[in-house]
Chain A
């Protein structure tokens, strides 16, 4: 298998606001149809078995990047490949290699975790009887009680639902796991459990992981390398130690990843605040 798991080359994604149909309305409402550049010609490689973090403020393009890799969006420029398969030209080959956990646990809420995960397992061509056993094993690992496995998901807390979402991704044993803010909304204990699973996946199954997060501690603890995105661009990419070295210590304490994040993206935040 290729050493490079994910290759993003000059990837570009722009969204256009919906144009009003009537010219009079366009004029009256000042519809200038300004495009929003969500991902602005970014390039990076993720090595096989690497945990690659992506940090960035809200609206910086992290989720768009994840969707481009997950074949849920088509790039407007550049290319994205997974183990040599282009996301636009060979989506099925890419889809067989990946799974994704998004910030909102998207499920059929009336169905139970077992029913939802069985649906997921069948979509990925897994055998139902072995999938059933594995679902129970993975969910038990996340401290989900056996009786809850068969109750509607809507009766679970958001944190528990997120655990089920992670279990669903693990079930298909993806070569590349895309985690889009997977621990948002989880309590500290659940966060640690998820983080332990992420590490274990890489160490024991050789899974390549791309993780977006707002949690600097999490990024520091898990990621081999971290890219910081701002306004659709990668403004820094290095190991956590390398990133910390970019910003000199202040107030007599060592630089944290949060200092780096604020130094590289904070100016924009202040500017936005003035508007």
Chain B
């Protein structure tokens, strides 16, 4: 029993190490992607500074910039986690290694655990670099921010995005040709309803109902409260527990769905496209 457990832990590290090697080998792509992400975050954040000129009315530009900076950073972090998890299948389809990995004696939980550990570390570092650039360029003062609280909220939200990512990773498994592109629909819907760049209250009522079930809604509110208002852990708790509950619910559901999809793919021969 112990040997099986230690084998599974070792196997889990296989995905962390492999992804680290891939990032190292694709370093030029990583630099391009980072530059793109920084430019993207900055251009959204500058909207805050430009609002006064756009609207012709006096606004608190500093607050607006912070509001948008938090939105863009949190969204970058959560979507990175989502894409690393959904890539569990699409990456291997692209490389042609999917059969080799799915033939290995490892549990899907082990597989996803390795992918999740890497996704969280990668997304933290990546978002941290963007945060560093943004802080310098906008001269953001984080001296009153509750950085620890913001990190706790982010981590609790990570769980739910892992769960949603696992569900999303089924699409490339079921639709070899276009499944990867289909995952964008999930992330785009979450972007629309979660209040990334605007308060959820400006949305039509039916979209506001969707915002309630989006974990990003709570993560964004929690991180904004921690960074903008310096809210303590007690005040952040109402945002943490819904994100945690969504994570605790979506991960087992995602794993169950993935298992069914894998079985279907093995039944219909969708793991391999020819031969």
| A111 lies within 8 A of B21 (CB) | yes
Binds A, one of B94-102, B115-123, B127-135, B144-152: B94-102
Residue in B26, B103, B105, B106 whose CB lies within 8 Å of A110: B26
Q: 26 A-B Cβ contacts within 8 A?
A: A16-B268, A67-B99, A67-B272, A70-B103, A71-B266, A72-B103, A72-B266, A74-B263, A74-B267, A92-B107, A95-B103, A102-B99, A103-B275, A104-B96, A106-B100, A107-B96, A108-B18, A108-B95, A111-B21, A119-B21, A120-B104, A123-B101, A124-B104, A125-B6, A125-B7, A125-B10
Which residues from A are CB-within-8-Å of B103?
70-72, 95, 98-100
Determine if A196 is an interface residue (Cβ-Cβ < 8 Å): no
| A96 lies within 8 A of B105 (CB) | yes
Partner-A contacts on B (CB < 8 A): 6-8, 10-11, 13-14, 17-18, 21-22, 25-26, 95-97, 99-107, 263, 266-269, 271-272, 275
Given that A72-B271, A103-B275, A111-B25 are contacting pairs, would A123 and B96 also be in contact in the complex, using a CB cutoff of 8 Å? no
| A115 lies within 8 A of B13 (CB) | no
Interface centre among B6, B21, B268 (most CB of A within 10 A): B21
Q: In angstroms, how far is the closest chain B Cβ from the Cβ of A193?
A: 22
Which residues from A are CB-within-8-Å of B275?
63, 103
Determine if A122 is an interface residue (Cβ-Cβ < 8 Å): yes
Contact-size category for A: 35 or more
Which residues from A are CB-within-8-Å of B97?
106-108
Given that A111-B21, A111-B25 are contacting pairs, would A106 and B10 also be in contact in the complex, using a CB cutoff of 8 Å? no
> For chain A, what secondary structure do more than half of its interface residues adopt (helix, strand, loop), or is it mixed?
loop
Q: In angstroms, how far is the closest chain A Cβ from the Cβ of B187?
A: 25
Instruction: Identify 16 new A-B residue pairs, CB closer than 8 A, beyond the known A108-B21, A119-B14, A119-B18.
Output: A72-B99, A72-B103, A72-B271, A72-B272, A73-B266, A74-B263, A76-B267, A92-B107, A96-B105, A100-B99, A103-B275, A107-B95, A107-B96, A111-B18, A119-B21, A125-B105
Determine if A109 is an interface residue (Cβ-Cβ < 8 Å): yes
Given that A110-B26, A111-B21 are contacting pairs, would A124 and B105 also be in contact in the complex, using a CB cutoff of 8 Å? yes
A73→B275 CA distance, assembly (Å): 13
Determine if A118 is an interface residue (Cβ-Cβ < 8 Å): yes
| A111 lies within 8 A of B99 (CB) | no
| B269 lies within 8 A of A123 (CB) | no
Residue in A76, A95, A110 whose CB lies within 8 Å of B25: A110
Q: In angstroms, how far is the closest chain B Cβ from the Cβ of A71?
A: 6
| A123 lies within 8 A of B11 (CB) | yes
Which residues from A are CB-within-8-Å of B13?
122
Q: In angstroms, how far is the closest chain A Cβ from the Cβ of B7?
A: 3
A73→B271 CA distance, assembly (Å): 8
A102→B266 CA distance, assembly (Å): 17
Given that A15-B269, A108-B95, A110-B26 are contacting pairs, would A115 and B11 also be in contact in the complex, using a CB cutoff of 8 Å? no
Interface 1/0s, chain A 3-38, versus B by CB < 8 A?
000000000000110000000000000000000000
A247→B214 CA distance, assembly (Å): 70
Closest residue of B by beta carbon distance from A119: B18
